[in-house]
Chain A
Amino acid sequence: MRKIICNVQEGQISKKQLLELESALKLSYAQYFGPKPGVAVLWSSIPKGQGFTEGRASKTSLVLVEVVDGLNQNLREVAMLEMASNWARIAEVDLDHLMITLCDETPFKLYLQMNQGRTRPAARPWFKITTMAHLFLSRMRDGYFSIRTNL
């Protein structure tokens, strides 16, 4: 299953908007890339004071979408632009406050590996276990997968 990771500045969107954004992302993903292998949307809230754009407090949402290696560029651009437009409409934000990346699978996975690799080796199993546990607990409690930001 592929992933979409959405980093949103704390307090910027409501839960209702989040769930609507998730539906829209999944719909666009299936429409452009097919129903298989499917996509999971993971949410991360950037706490106030911890997100910056141009050195100032940020209002920018950062969305990273995993796609097949070598995706046709025309298709990639059409999909990105639609996802951006939907996001701006649902979240009621300016397009200037949104960055969407449709990233080939290989560098996407490398990015996640690099992130895990930042933790010292002895701490990695605990990091993985607690990350997975938080994902599933949040899904059960809130209806969506959420990633821990500050550990």
Chain B
Amino acid sequence: MPLYNLVSRMPLSEACRERVAQAITDTHCSVTGAPGGFVNVVFFHGYRLRRGEIINVMGGVRKGGNRTAAVIENLRTSLRDAIAHAAELKPEQAEVSLLGLAANWVVEGGRVMPEPGAEAEWLKQNSR
């Protein structure tokens, strides 16, 4: 967690997918402080999106801890802008929606995930 599920009408090139995946990872980490190793991105294509949309992203992210509503909204808009830039689109051609899930609903590395903001201690104990 997070898992970002990105769909498009046409397949994105390999180079574009790599740029977008990196942009999502960098943006998520810089806004939330979470480590990059948590960030998963999947790409699918062939979706008939709404008119004007080229890329649509649904993100499942941890909620609670130090993530206020303002942080989540900042994350959403920052991701939209970063994805659009990486894919060489206008911001309005990329749509991002986020669904917050409790951290303790998720297991990674064989352990229940930490509350947002408590990653450092969790990583120390989990040595990635």
Contacts and interface: CB of A to CB of B under 8 A. Distances in A.
A55 B21 contact: yes
B14 A150 contact: no
B99 A111 contact: yes
B21 to A, nearest CB: 4
A85 interface: yes
Q: Which among B36, B60, B128 has the highest number of chain A CB atoms within 10 Å?
A: B60
Contact of B45 (A46, A51, A84, A151): A151
B17 A49 contact: yes
Interface string A96-119: 101111111001001100110011
A50 B43 CA distance: 5
Contact of B44 (A50, A84, A114): A50
Interface of A is mostly: mixed
A95 B128 CA distance: 11
Contacts, number: 118
Contacts of B118: none
Interface stretch (B65-73, B76-84, B102-110): B102-110
Contacts of A104: 105
A133 to B, nearest CB: 15
Given A114-B97, A118-B7, A150-B44, A101 B39 contact: no
A53 B24 CA distance: 10
Interface in A47-92: 49-55, 58, 60, 62, 73, 76-77, 80-81, 83-85, 88
Closest 10 CB pairs of A and B: A151-B46, A95-B110, A52-B21, A123-B48, A55-B22, A54-B36, A50-B43, A80-B107, A52-B41, A55-B25
Given A55-B26, A80-B112, 19 more contacts: A49-B14, A50-B17, A52-B18, A53-B40, A54-B36, A55-B18, A55-B22, A77-B107, A77-B112, A85-B110, A99-B108, A103-B105, A111-B58, A114-B58, A114-B97, A150-B44, A150-B45, A150-B46, A151-B45
Interface of B: 1, 3, 5, 7, 11, 14, 17-18, 21-22, 25-26, 36-37, 39-51, 56, 58, 60, 95, 97, 99, 101, 104-110, 112, 128
